[in-house]
Amino acid sequence: GPVAETFRVIQGAVTEEYVRSTQGVFQFELSGDGGGTWYIDLKTTGGSAGFGKPPVTADVVMSMSSTDFVKMF
């Protein structure tokens, strides 16, 4: 779906430079189609993004519809 595709693109764009400059973990609580808990980890070496809880405690937790999430990105 659109949410999974968005996270696939984000994962492919994560670089060590983004991790060094951001140093944050973002958790998304999404409702609607493709919803659930998703994350972008820009703190842990290598960074990552995907479905489920982040590997470390999130610095920011955002709740929104999956439609709004896809629009935001």
Pairwise CA distance, residues 55 & 47, whole Å: 10
> pTM of the full predicted structure?
0.93
Q: How many domains does the chain have?
A: 1
pLDDT-derived band at 71, boundaries 50, 70, 90? very high
pLDDT tens, 16-68?
999 999 999 999 999 999 999 999 999 999 999 999 999 999 999 999 999 99
In a domain, 57, yes or no: yes
pLDDT at 58: 98
Six token digits for residue 53: 């809880």
Six token digits for residue 59: 């610095």
In a domain, 18, yes or no: yes
Q: What is the CATH number of the domain that holds 12?
A: 3.30.1050.10
In a domain, 73, yes or no: no
pLDDT at 11: 96
Give residues with Cβ within 8 angstroms of 20, minimum separation 6.
none
Domain assignment of residue 45, given as a range: 2-67
Beta strands in the chain (DSSP E): 24-31, 36-42, 48-51, 60-65
In a domain, 38, yes or no: yes
pLDDT at 1: 95
In a domain, 72, yes or no: no
